[in-house]
Structure 1
């Protein structure tokens, strides 16, 4: 069975990608994911805030004691004495790129276009095959307009793409006023593909402790319909690669995304729930689905049910919304 896939110009052994998660910080886990059929692995994100924090520490270190006597300076710690998270990530990039037979994608999570983009170049130098840029910006200021958010996102994309020669994929959220148009603008700004979608983590309100607390819930298959919609709409129309993210639990979910037109399908939550060995379950399940239909390569089914490939695209459009509402009304009448 030929599962070979091209993503961001890279050739992958399968369309399954292990997306960024804390689990991927371990080299043994990355090796297991590759052995189980992952086409690529995305390393845990380096956050812009981490980089700025590390830079402030370095600035303090450089400035500290500049007026001191020379013999006293030996008592101050050297830069090497500080273990920085970004340095640890660069080390992981280098080790993974050397040890794995699949592409290693480094992940950066940022919201501005200044200073920290040098980290993207460092990741390229360490051996990353590509960069996944996660633009996570929550515009809580009511004075910030939608066009401001789009401009800020595109500025970040251009800054990173101008910094590196390796391909860049941009992971975005679904809350742009026109996600398809924004995706095309991102590719026009230099990205080689988009990842749909980023999940914004909403806080929880504790009515007992009277506090706002962070809350993380792993995604379920019921959340995949939104990215499925936009993957189907953009398939064959983007001019870049399409990666589907969110809600992948089973091989059937992988198939759904591929039929809609995804080049690759990413999984985090299912791997965290079931362990890295679940990657093999997804890959083997995809092979079984293809074999049962006499299909021996992905190209025969990818995008088969995309918006532009079906005779009646109403399933993606408003007419389908009306049909769904009417079907519920008829069901209520019968009850």
Structure 2
């Protein structure tokens, strides 16, 4: 069975990618995932705030003692040897280097931030460390109610443009679903030069614990019930963008992987199921995918991909609306008493 696929222009021996998680934060963890069969790994993100905080701390220490005897300078952090490698970035570069040396599959670095800032420099450092690609995890929550939707979208495009000016490796953008028109933004990012789109990001959403009266920072693992939204947009975008489409969220079983491929995904990323069941669950997903492809008479992944995507020659809005109405009718038949809308 031919499970091979391509993602970001990279040849992969199967469509399963381990997305960023504690499992990919260490070299032994990366090795376990690759040994279990994943075709690529995404390292946890280097956070913009982490780097800036360390830069500020170092600056404050130096300024606080700038009038002390010169001999005392050895007790404080030395200036970073390069603007691309302050504390956090330097450690991250080392992780990239060690992971790349330890496995024979693509290692994708990840950057998480919300401003153009130093992203281009950090991305270039990832490239120099051997990363096969960079994933931009743009987490911008517009707290100012005067911020327009277009301003949020423009920031995504600007960050991508700046990074692309400084690297030659492929760049993917991981998007959240909270846009008025995710499809239009996807087309803009594709035209700007993104080699891939990861759909969708699951943002950390703090909640309120009424008993303890505190803000809870919990981050529950995803479940298959969250997957339809991402599958819907992958099915809509398949054939309309030239970049790769990566599915993320709600991958628990081989059936979830197969459904994403039918929608048009080039690769399927998993975090939660690998955390729940361990890295070895990757082999379970791949064995199940092989069995499904065989039972359905497909010679490989390419034959299954996009079989249930929205046809290019139809109005996607009408197509999705018809699906919505059909779902309501099915709900009425199944449960009864569902009000008409």
Question: Normalising by structure 2, what TM-score?
Answer: 0.91
Q: 1:142 to 1:259 in 2, by over 3 A?
A: same
SS state at 1:43 partner: strand
State yes or no: 1:26 paired with 2:26.
yes
Counterpart of 2:178 in 1: which secondary structure? coil
- Would the aligned equivalents of 1:13 and 1:37 in 2 still touch at CA under 8 Å? no
Separation (CA, whole Å) in 2 of partners of 1:333 and 1:240? 44
3-state SS in 2 of match to 1:142? coil
Mapping for residues 51-90 of structure 1, pairs under 5 Å:
51-78=51-78, 84-90=87-93
Superimposed CA distance per residue, residues 26-69 of structure 1 (whole angstroms, 9 cap, x where no aligned partner): 21221121122211000011111001112212323554533333
In structure 1, list runs of 5 or more residues that go unmatched.
Answer: none
Which of 231, 240, 243 is the aligned partner of 2:243?
240
Structure 1: how far apart are the matches of 2:102 and 2:152? Answer: 39
Is 1:148 aligned to 2:151, yes or no? yes
The counterpart of 1:126, out of the listed 122, 125, 129, is 129
- Secondary structure at the counterpart of residue 317 of structure 1: helix
Provide the rounded CA distance (Å) in 2 between the counterparts of 1:249 and 1:333. Answer: 32
Aligned residues between the structures: 333
Which one of 274, 294, 297 corresponds to residue 297 of structure 2? 294
1:6 aligned partner = 6
SS state at 1:295 partner: coil
Alpha-carbon distance change, 87 to 142 in structure 1, aligned in 2, over 3 angstroms: same
Q: Distance in 1 between matches of 2:246 and 2:175?
A: 11
The residue matched to 2:255 in structure 1 has which SS? helix
Does 1:175 find its partner at 2:178? yes
Q: 5+ unaligned residues in a row in structure 2: which ranges?
A: none
Q: CA–CA distance in 2 between the matches of 1:66 and 1:314?
A: 63
1:193 Cα offset (Å): 1.1
* 1:240-287 deviation line (CA, Å, top 9, x unaligned): 000000000000000000000000000000000000000111111111
Other structure's SS at 2:180 match: coil
Match runs of 1:1-335 below 5 Å: 1-78=1-78, 84-308=87-311, 316-331=319-334, 332=336
- RMSD after superposition: 2.3
Distance 2:35 2:140 in 1: 35
C-alpha deviation, 1:152, in angstroms: 1.3
8 A contact 2:54–2:86 mirrored in 1: no
1:227 and 1:208 mapped to 2: Cα distance?
34
* 1:79 positional shift: 5.2
Match of 2:44, SS?
A: coil
Alignment check: 8 A CA contact 1:51 1:116 kept: no
Which sits farther off after the overlay, 311-320 or 24-33?
311-320
Runs of 4+ in structure 1 off by over 4 angstroms are 309-316
Is the 2:310–2:316 contact (alpha carbons within 8 Å) kept by the matching residues of 1? Answer: yes
Query: What secondary structure does 1:219 align onto?
Result: coil
Residue deviations 1:116-164, cap 9 Å, x none? 4311111111110000100111122211111111111111111112221
Output the TM-score relative to the length of structure 1.
Answer: 0.93
